[in-house]
A and B are shown apart, each in its own frame.
Chain A
Amino acid sequence: GAVVSQHPSRVICKSGTSVKIECRSLDFQATTMFWYRQFPKQSLMLMATSNEGSKATYEQGVEKDKFLINHASLTLSTLTVTSAHPEDSSFYICSAYRQGTYNEQFFGPGTRLTVL
């Protein structure tokens, strides 16, 4: 299967700082990537769809100014949590959609964000 990486795998930051998470498709090009958030013992909640070369599409209730998404190339999407607060502490997972297969998404290993 295709490989998607995330960096960092774990980050701890102070309240009020910004944190950037990278999602890379290592062996294929992804025009579309997705960002999910997962709270403990809960399911994945889709936050936004990241489209290469255009603005991200956010799900209802997700603040676009809070969660900045940049999909600058066909292999890289970044999620920046701005002015992070403790309630933003969560597990953030990205996925990349591979063209040519039917809705085959490959998931990254996730990033654990802890805001103190």
Chain B
Amino acid sequence: SQQGEEDPQALSIQEGENATMNCSYKTSINNLQWYRQNSGRGLVHLILIRSNEREKHSGRLRVTLDTSKKSSSLLITASRAADTASYFCATDSAEWGYNKLIFGAGTRLAVHP
């Protein structure tokens, strides 16, 4: 089963613009991670944010976590055509143990030159 929803489902922007994707989840979590997936390929780990953290940065990526709203956002600044991919959030929780990750529905990002 999936943990929650991501919005938007699809996002189309021009190079240089910022892209914001949101992820909501249902249960309490230990960590939330963001992954990127190019079409037909495996997953690339982007960033992990712990439940006691509110914001984290990595290069052009900025992730926020609001545990009171059970939501997270991923911001990609100054987007590039190479950022075109699907982006997924994934959560782990003590409720389901075994270090399982449950993925959100994903956002398909298209960055046009």
Interface residues of A (CB under 8 A from B): 1, 32, 34, 36, 41-46, 49, 57, 59-60, 91, 93, 95, 97, 102-110, 112
Contact = CB atoms under 8 A, between A and B. Distances in A.
A54 to B, nearest CB: 12
Contact of A46 (B30, B88, B102, B106): B102
Given A1-B45, A103-B92, A112 B99 contact: no
Nearest to A93: B42
Contacts of A93: 42-43
* Interface size class of chain B, counting residues whose CB lies under 8 Å from the partner chain: 20 to 34
Nearest to B50: A102
A102 B33 CA distance: 12
Contact of B101 (A34, A59, A110): A34
Give the dominant DSSP class at A's interface: strand
B41 interface: yes
Interface in B16-31: 30-31
A32 B41 CA distance: 22
B100 A43 contact: no
B74 interface: no
Given A1-B45, A44-B88, A103-B30, A112 B40 contact: yes
A84 B102 CA distance: 26
